[in-house]
Amino acid sequence: MSTRLPSYLNAADPGPWAMFLQQLDRVEPHLGELARWTDTLRRPKRTMVVDVPVRMDDGRIEHFEGFRVQHNLSRGPGKGGLRYHPAVNLSEVMALSGWMTIKNAAVNLPYGGAKGGVRVDPAQLSRGELERLTRRYTSELSSIIGAERDIPAPDVGTNEQVMAWMVDTYAINHGSIETGVVTGKPISMGGSLGRRDATGRGCFVVAREAMRRLGMQVAGSRVTVQGFGNVGNAAARVFHDEGARVVAIQDVHGTLVNEAGIDPHALLRHLREGGGGWADFPGATLVLADQFWSIPCDVMVPAALEGQITLANVSNIRARLIVEGANGPTTPEAEDILHAQGCTVLPDVLANAGGVTVSYFEWVQNATSFFWTEQDIHAKLDRVLSEAFDSIWRIAQDKRVNLRTATFITACSRVLEARALRGLYP
Ligand code: GLU
């Protein structure tokens, strides 16, 4: 049995939550009268830390730390993903939940912000262990989640299968099935067409809109992508299909480059169907990880984890546009330097909002039991994100602020207006 302290008792590392607080400090001067409510966003509304004991295949009982943070519920039920990763801790889940509040309000979805996580490396667990962990975690959370309370979805390390176990566990505990309790479900269980690729597709939509305003062409542009998971691989495919040249893809397995362009469909086929490895992909050359940052490109899509673009590598970056597919990939200090270098940053809270937008479509389809076509979903996603981008772009121009601050102004104004109208109880 481990005698190490739970990660949330280690207060030494302020982590990503400190970054979120810094972003709030930057927006506060722009909020006028509503600024008196900003402290609401500096503390999560509800934080749940649960012990998740799991019977392992060898008979041992292992304890995992589980979290769910409902950062703000002023505009509707909590909404945000569930992450399985060995680095998950309370600071990270708090920050991710805060970013969900901002993201959902920025694209005007009728949700508050929430996020969950379990400190576990899912690759080290058998399928049975993963199922038991998911079911126990869901059960521990069952008093605070629900289609009208708080709706989890996939994030790093979780997928449609994890969502299916969550629906089933919640249904057994409640004696009736409520498909809208999570989104990102398999299609056969009430999932939505277009959800799987929605985050990556959304990255492309906002990038296309930004490129139009910056006088850049999508066709022939050079794109680099960090992360080849759900977000990175979809973003790479859509950019490629729209005529861009994906010149580098980096994942934990290595960094692939090809100046003539990597075909992400071929890479996926090679990895999934061909059973090939990252290093023996014939369509690109493997280079050292650090080189990724200095590859000349028009668009860089960091779609892995937070804290990737830092003071240590920012001066090597030569992209004109950064599209944050991941949550929190750029530190505030590095972002200032990017702007000084003439690089535009499309912030996570806008750039990766496509996933939760199609989650919202899924939730609406579940509530009405009427399902839409994929074409319909693509068109609606495109409209929601293009309109959000347009109004945020205008705010950035009018107030002479960067796009992150403009997105925070839009979102915080919506959240705090609802907060002020609801008032305090009692
Ligand atoms: N995990 C995704 C995000 O960070 C999607 C959340 C959702 O669909 O609720 O935006």
Q: Could you tell which of 70, 102, 155, 192 is best to mutate to test the pocket of ligand 1, judged by most ligand atoms within 8 Å of the CB?
A: 155
For the chain, give the mean pLDDT: 95
Task: At 11, list the tokens.
Answer: 């207060």
Burial of 24 (0-12, 13-18, 19+ CB in 10 A): middle
Q: Is 359 in the pocket of ligand 1 (CB under 6 A)?
A: yes
What element of type H or E holds 37?
A: none
d(CA 248, CA 259): 8
Q: 1 pLDDT band (50/70/90 cuts)? A: very low
Whether 28 maps to a domain, the answer reads yes
Its pTM stands at 0.96
Range of the domain at 280: 198-346
Question: Omega into 296 within 30° of 0, i.e. cis?
Answer: no
CA atoms of 93 and 111, how far apart (whole Å): 17
* Domain CATH code at residue 301: 3.40.50.720
Q: Same domain for 139 and 212?
A: no
Same domain, 278 and 320: yes
What is d(CA 121, CA 157) in angstroms, rounded to the nearest whole number? 8
Indicate if 170 and 210 belong to the same structural domain: no
Domain boundary among 178, 211, 242: 178
Q: Residue 103 falls within a domain, yes or no?
A: yes
Given this model, what pLDDT does residue 2 score? 44
Q: Are residues 168 and 207 in the same domain?
A: no
Residue 4 in any domain: the answer is no
Task: Answer yes or no: is 157 within a domain.
Answer: yes
Model pLDDT for residues 290-299, shown as the tens digit of each residue: 999 999 999 9
Considering the domain boundaries, does residue 421 fall inside one? no
Which amino acid type is present at position 161?
Q
214 and 160 in a single domain? The answer is no
**pLDDT classification of 225: cutoffs 50, 70, 90:** very high
Query: Do both 23 and 104 map to the same domain?
Result: yes
Residues forming the active site: 115
Position 117 pLDDT exceeds 50: yes
CA 192 vs. chain centroid, Å, equals: 18
If you measure from the C-alpha of residue 417 to the centroid of ligand 1, how many angstroms do you get, rounded to a whole number?
24
66 in contact with ligand 1, CB cutoff 6 A: no
C-alpha dihedral sign at 284, 289, 295, 298: positive
Q: Which atom of ligand 1 is nearest to the CA of 82?
A: 1
User: Does residue 43 have a pLDDT over 60?
Assistant: yes
Question: Residue 283: its pLDDT value, please?
Answer: 93
Pick the last residue of a domain from 121, 145, 178: 178
* Same domain (yes/no): 33, 142: yes
Question: Are 126 and 212 in the same domain?
Answer: no
What's the total number of domains in the chain? 2
The answer on pLDDT for 10 being more than 60 is: no
pLDDT of residue 143: 95
**pLDDT classification of 4: cutoffs 50, 70, 90:** low
Q: Do 42 and 118 belong to one domain?
A: yes
The pLDDT value recorded for residue 5 is 59
Q: How confident is the model at residue 8 (pLDDT cuts 50, 70, 90)?
A: low
CATH number at residue 107: 3.40.50.10860
- What average pLDDT does the segment 260-280 reach? 92
Give the end of a domain, one of 112, 147, 178. 178
Which of 70, 85, 359, 362 should be mutated for ligand 1, with most atoms under 8 A from CB? 359
Contact 86, 121 (CB under 8 A): yes
Residues 65 and 143 in one domain: yes
Ligand 1 closest atom vs CA 81: 1
Strands of 112-244 (E only): list them: 113-119, 150-151, 222-226
Comparing CA positions, the residue from 274, 219, 284, 221 lying closest to residue 249 is: 284
Ligand 1 centre and the CA of 215: distance in Å? 30
Q: How confident is the model at residue 13 (pLDDT cuts 50, 70, 90)?
A: low
Say how many Å lie between the CA of residue 259 and the centre of ligand 1: 32
Q: What is the DSSP letter of 57?
A: T
Assess whether the C-beta atom of 325 lies below 6 angstroms from ligand 1: no
Rounded Cα–Cα distance for residues 288 and 135 (Å): 40
Mean pLDDT of 55-59: 98
CA distance 346 to 353: 11
* Non-local CB neighbours of 24 within 8 Å, separated by 6+ positions: 38, 41, 42, 408, 412
pLDDT tens per residue, range 122-181: 999 999 999 999 999 999 999 999 999 999 999 999 999 999 999 999 999 999 999 999
Q: Write down the H helix ranges in 33-159.
A: 90-106, 127-141
Per-residue pLDDT, 384: 98
In a domain, 183, yes or no: no
The answer to whether residue 186 is domain-embedded is no
- 330-388, pLDDT tens digit by residue? 999 999 999 999 999 999 999 999 999 999 999 999 999 999 999 999 999 999 999 99
Does one domain contain both 209 and 300? yes
Q: What is the pLDDT of residue 25?
A: 93
Across 207-230, average pLDDT: 98
Q: Are 62 and 142 in contact (CB under 8 A)?
A: no
Is 357 a pocket residue for ligand 1 (Cβ < 6 Å)?
A: no
pLDDT at 14 over 70: no
342 within domain boundaries:
yes
* 117 and 260 co-located in one domain: no
pLDDT over 90 percentage in the chain:
93
Q: How many A from CA of 218 to the centre of ligand 1?
A: 26
Q: Check if 183 has its Cβ closer than 6 Å to any atom of ligand 1.
A: yes
